[in-house]
Amino acid sequence: DAKTTQPPSMDCAEGRAANLPCNHSTISGNEYVYWYRQIHSQGPQYIIHGLKNNETNEMASLIITEDRKSSTLILPHATLRDTAVYYCIVRVPNNDMRFGAGTRLTVKP
Amino acid sequence: NAGVTQTPKFRVLKTGQSMTLLCAQDMNHEYMYWYRQDPGMGLRLIHYSVGEGTTAKGEVPDGYNVSRLKKQNFLLGLESAAPSQTSVYFCASSYPNWDREEAFFGQGTRLTVV
């Protein structure tokens, strides 16, 4: 599986958009990009995933560059409850799922 | 719908003791995973299973064994616990179908080995 690089921490003001970057320069053609988050010490929670096209759901948007070497998770209106560690993962189908260190997002009032 | 349930939630073991952590899912998922998370670190994959009767090693398999005798259950065993195995253990399950692919996680088992 391709490895990912994320900034260790980011801050965001409450009500503003949070844009979390992820680099995955060695991603291969059949690898998907996934985002999970972990609030405090709870089990991780799925957010969104995509292959090539941008994706949006009720939680977030995922923007994948045309060359697929990087992506951005967007939380459109961050709230204090979005404070968490966000993990970007790339994986191939029928394979295991490995987490990196993630980005610790702190939403400030 | 309970999702993914881990048993027990907390446990303290003495060095050398053995124990089994149980993960149960009621979503008919094919894939199941065991992770450990040490303080301030991300999750590391211990073992995983792509179906009943199959298991595979992850990143940090040493000192652990697993079994998947029933599709809904994935057991993680520690034969001789060591202080280095003090951690929070998470179980997860998912479909292999990539259109529906999201993994669901349990709430974790906090294990302390003294």
| Cα distance between residue B10 and residue B22, in whole Å | 12
- Mean pLDDT for the stretch of residues A47-63: 94
Q: What is chain B's percent helix, strand, coil content, to nearest 5?
A: 5, 50, 45
- Give the A-side interface with B, CB within 8 Å: 32, 34, 36, 41-46, 49, 85, 87, 93-94, 96-102
Instruction: Give the C-alpha distances (Å, rounded to integers) separating A77 from A17, A81, B34.
Output: 5, 11, 33
How does residue B41 score in pLDDT terms, banded at 50, 70 and 90?
confident
Residue B81: per-residue pLDDT: 96
Residue A94: per-residue pLDDT: 64
Nearest to B105 among A34, A44, A102 (CB): A44
A5: DSSP letter: B
**Is the per-residue pLDDT at A78 higher than 70?**
yes
pLDDT tens for each residue of A5-48:
999 999 999 999 999 999 999 998 888 999 999 998 899 999 99
| Cα distance between residue B11 and residue B32, in whole Å | 22
Any residues with CB less than 8 A from the CB of A66 and at least 6 apart, and which? none
> Do residues A37 and A47 lie in contact, with contact meaning Cβ atoms separated by under 8 Å?
yes
Residue A15: per-residue pLDDT: 96
Of B9, B1, B17, nearest in space to B89 by CA = B9
Taking CA atoms, what residue in B is nearest to A94? Answer: B96
**Is the per-residue pLDDT at A86 higher than 70?**
yes
Average pLDDT, chain A: 92
Any residues with CB less than 8 A from the CB of B103 and at least 6 apart, and which? A36, A44, A46, A97, B31, B33, B92, B93, B94
In sequence order, what are the beta bridge partners of B5? B24
How does residue B95 score in pLDDT terms, banded at 50, 70 and 90?
confident
> Do residues A28 and A90 lie in contact, with contact meaning Cβ atoms separated by under 8 Å?
no
- Least confident stretch, A28-42, B30-44, B87-101: B87-101
